[in-house]
Amino acid sequence: MLDTPGVRSALAKMLVAVQFVMYLTGQLSAQSPVVPKFPINSSAIEIRGDVRPQEYVGVTGHASAWLGTEGGTAELWVHPFKLATDFSLNFQIPDYVDPIRGEDVARTVIVRPEATTIVYSHATFTVKQHIFAPVNRPGLIVLLDVDTFRDMAIRVQFKPVFQYAWPAAFGGQYSFWNEDAKAFVLSESRRERNAMIGSPWTSSATTQPAHALSDAPNTFVIAVDADRMDSEFIPIVVAAGQMPRDSISALYAEMLQNARALYEEKRDYMNQLLATTVRIDSPDDELDRALQWASVNLDEQLVCNPDLGCGLVAGWGMSKTSTRPGFGWFFGGDAAINSFAMDAVGLWDQTAAGIRFLARYQNEAGKITHEISQSAAHTPWFEEFPYAFIHADTTPYWIVMVWRYWRATGDTALLREVWPNVERAYAWCLTHETDYDGLMENTTAGLGAIEVGGLSDRIHQDVYLAGVWVEATRAMMEMALAMDDAGLSQSANRMYEVSGRNLNDMYWREEDGHHAFGTYRDGSTNGTLTVWPATAGSFGLFSKERADRTFTKLATDSLSSDWGARLLSTGSEMYDPMHYNNGAVWPFMTGFLSWAQYRYSRPWAGFPLVNALKQITYDWARGRHVELLSGDFYRPLDTSVPHQFFATSMFVTPLIKGMLGWDPNAPENRASLAPQLPPDWESFRVDRLRVGEGEISMNISQSVYSTTYRVESTRDSIVVDLAATVPADASDIAVSIDGTEMADFVINRGPHDSEVAVSLAHLSDAKTVEVSWTGGMRLAPNRIELEPGQRSRGYRIADKHYGNGEWKITIEGEAGRTYELELIGKVPENVTNGDLRAMTEDGATLLVAMPNGLGRQTVEVTLHQ
């Protein structure tokens, strides 16, 4: 026989055909159970796009997680276990000797709240891989929807790991193929921990060495009968737990039998979540959808660990060669930060679970834990590892978490339940105020803002911990009163006054014009310009004049890049764009900075940061927010966790609590709204702002010289305090409610904008408030369309204030460039350091040319009346 390429190819095809007959023979003898096809519904907020093979995609439930890439490779987790790595699909067709790698033909990814679909496309087939994690089952389900004109085979492979999450471990693992169940069984010598991964469609599988895990992948082959594909899904089921093998077998069979019901349960769960959380309708559809995705994400932090209970984890990402799934273990500080957003969107059950979880693991001294591993029950975690209580900020943060939850919900029963824990937490904090300035100290309490890097050297106190602590004293003042402890309330009030005054005075650097990072052990000050004062600023703890100067500096590109806030100024000698604490852009601190800018009536500096956080939802892990990005390029660092919950929450918080000024006070049946919308938005609506047992909806219509608010409540007893924003130079301000002009209302004049305060009661019938004025100029915020990999090149509006009949606008940009700003309203005709174009009675375009030179330049434009 001739040995030619053609002959070799023909022989190879014959061999493949023989293999197919063998596959089919095995398959046709075991067609039951099957999963009849059912609709995989589209979602109103689904995100679809071309596959980026190495970009993260995660599918999580409350007990399990699929952590993978858009190319189809994944790790399989059922808490507290990492079951397998390198799970993937390969496809075998008669024409080719070698399998077709799934990663090579993965073309489209569709991310939905309840399931993710990866579409594999080849000239001879299309396979849709639907992946979902049941709400509460300890397992995962994959449904393969195959469209092929002839029989083919799908090779499913994974490398078994079957190990506890870091740092616990056990030995004696092994795996074997169970032909009756058509699944690989993963187990260990005592058979107390078991898992199954398989499919009833399997025709053959690899054999395993006895009493060991193979170095080679476990592989099972699914023979695809094309005639059955019109009516059936091919299921792959993963089930695991700390339970006997027969229990796992029963769970595996139950999940297989009820695949459709479990999918519909997950879909209904997510639909219900979206139907009961905050929703907005703005001119920016991507912003609206990003907020809905954030509610989905924040639910995904709830994990029910069979040993530890249900709590809130910090983030998800592939562990790769380790057994740490991103930050998929329980973090106290992260949970507290995330609770601000969860309270705002209405995820109250999840917040309550997080509060109770952290109370359960509070130590005897009263300190709240920093982090708890998923495998903490199987190690001396609290005794021998240093991580459980390493941070100081988690304890005052937890106090604030309880307080804000109580103010949002009015859940006095939960407050009373955890009140002994709150008292112990507060008492612990007081023991770490030893120098009588009213502020907690890092030197005795633990870490605060910084974990690594030179910025923390010799630090006695940092402004981050100080700000959280001052807010905790305010929280104690209110909660103690509600718990009938007037003495504690009064002492907390005294502490609040002392600590707040010293926070303002000790951290202020008059010579630098901004708040410092911290104080040293020798009493001197670390005056480095950082983003960390933003946390205290977001709580409104700084005096207005000093806050304005600090946040003017933080609005410049030295801190606020096009895609978010660097932790450390680019002007510092320690700045490193790839350093975790000394230069990277953190979405979570970006959110605090945006919230602070809004808190001090600086929306032109707050909105661009919210807009950047919105875009992160779509540019990296679709629907999720990455932990941190480079300080110099719009790109995540390689070490970054791709699905970080405090990055998500700090997109929500400045949007709802900053831009909308939402502040519920359920114990008093009140709520505040102080919207600072972009003035170029003509309309905006928000629904389902929850306060106690009621919901508030608000519709806003904006024109050049008036704003109309329509406010409605589901409970007539709730009073809404509305603060309407008008330009600082506006005159003839008028207010009407339901068409009746008001003669008496409060105007709070400010250098940036003014506020008109109105209290609205009996809102079961909607009330319409119209605020109008004469004259007045507003400034549209800068919007930067981000492109992955870009440098920071957009302009910044660092400051804008009115006084003595003129507006002064401080603009920073790249040397030699000219920028266009949109002015809305009555624009003064006289301008210094700028040019007006396209002037009308309702606005103009302001052209600002940056001086030639190097780097960033600053221009102050003056608009004279």
Question: Does residue 2 carry a pLDDT above 80?
Answer: no
Query: 360, 383, 137, 392: which is closest to 265 by C-alpha?
Result: 137
Phi-psi sector, 704: left (phi>0), alpha (psi -120 to 50), beta: alpha
Same domain, 753 and 839: no
Judge if 770 and 814 occupy the same domain: no
Q: What is the pTM of this model?
A: 0.95
- The answer to whether residues 750 and 848 belong to one domain is no
Q: Is the pLDDT of residue 491 over 50?
A: yes
666-677 average pLDDT score: 98
What is the count of structural domains for the chain? 3
**Is residue 112 domain-resident?**
yes
Closest CA to 596 of 546, 643, 647, 666: 546
* Residue 119 shares a structural domain with residue 266: yes
Q: What is the pLDDT of residue 392?
A: 97
Residue 456: predicted pLDDT? 82
**Residue type at 458?**
R
User: How does pLDDT run across 459-481, given as a tens digit for each residue?
Assistant: 999 999 999 999 999 999 999 99
- In this model, does residue 88 exceed pLDDT 80? yes
78 has pLDDT over 70 = yes
- Asked if 67 and 326 touch (Cβ cutoff 8 Å), the reply is yes
State yes or no: pLDDT of 18 exceeds 70: no
Three-state SS for 284?
Answer: coil
Domain match, 235 and 135 both: yes
**Mean pLDDT to the nearest integer, 797-811:** 97
Structure tokens at 619: 């540019």
Domain boundary pick from 737, 762, 778 = 778
| pLDDT more than 70, % of the chain | 96
Pairwise CA distance, residues 848 & 857, whole Å: 11
Which burial class, exposed, middle or buried, applies to 493 when counting CB atoms under 10 A from its CB (0-12, 13-18, 19+)? middle
pLDDT on residue 5: 40
- Are residue 709 and residue 826 in the same domain, yes or no? no
CA atoms within 13 A on the CB side of 49: 12
Q: How far apart are CA 143 and CA 132, in angstroms?
A: 9
The predicted model gives 446-456 an average pLDDT of: 87
Q: In CATH, what number is assigned to the domain containing residue 730?
A: 2.60.40.1180
- CA-closest candidate to residue 490, choices 502, 504, 501, 476: 476
Residue 224 has pLDDT above 60, yes or no: yes
Q: Are residues 160 and 46 in the same domain?
A: yes
- Using CA atoms, how far apart are residues 472 and 492, in angstroms rounded to an integer? 9
600 in any annotated domain: no
Domain range for residue 765?
679-778
Residue type present at position 587: P
Q: Does residue 240 fall inside a structural domain? A: yes
Mean pLDDT confidence for 168-191: 96
Cα–Cα distances in Å, from 561 out to 354, 650, 856? 33, 16, 12
Q: How far is CA 836 from the centre of its chain?
A: 40
| Phi, psi (degrees; rounded to nearest 5) at 102 | -60, -40
pLDDT in tens, 323-379: 999 999 999 999 999 999 999 999 999 999 999 999 999 999 999 999 999 999 999
- Is 643 exposed, middle or buried, given 0-12, 13-18 or 19+ CB atoms closer than 10 A? buried
Distance between CA 431 and CA 441 in Å, rounded? 10
How many Cβ atoms sit within 10 Å of the Cβ of residue 21? Answer: 11
Whether 599 is covered by a domain: the verdict is no
3-state secondary structure of 586: coil
Instruction: Read off the pLDDT of residues 414-434 as tens digits, 9 standing for 90 and up.
Output: 999 999 999 999 999 999 999
| Region 728-750 average pLDDT | 95
759 and 839 inside one domain? no
If asked whether residues 87 and 156 sit together in one domain, one would say yes
Indicate the residue among 249, 270, 291 that finishes a domain. 270
% of the chain beyond a pLDDT of 90: 93
141 vs 131: CA distance, rounded Å: 6
The reported pLDDT for the residue numbered 251 is: 98
**CATH number of the domain that residue 31 is part of:** 2.70.98.40
* DSSP code at position 636: B
Of 270, 287, 309, the residue at which a domain comes to its end is 270
**Distance of alpha carbon 33 from alpha carbon 579, whole angstroms:** 53
Domain assignment present for 210: yes
Q: Determine, yes or no, domain membership for 357.
A: no
Tens of pLDDT, residues 600-630: 999 999 999 999 999 999 999 999 999 999 9
pLDDT for 865 equals: 76
Residue 826 and residue 773 share a domain: no
Same domain, 749 and 831: no
Same domain for 153 and 51, yes or no, is yes
Q: What is the mean pLDDT of residues 569-587?
A: 95
Which whole number is the average pLDDT over 841-860?
96
Can you give the C-alpha Rg of the chain in angstroms?
29
In a domain, 69, yes or no: yes
Domain-embedded: residue 467: no
* Rounded Cα gap, residues 131 and 120, in angstroms: 14
pLDDT score of 7: 38
Q: How far is CA 536 from CA 28, 79, 338, 403, 593, in A?
A: 67, 36, 16, 17, 10
How much is the pLDDT for 20? 41
- Residue 671: its pLDDT value, please? 98
**Which of 43, 39, 49, 69 lies closest to 316 in space, CA to CA?**
69
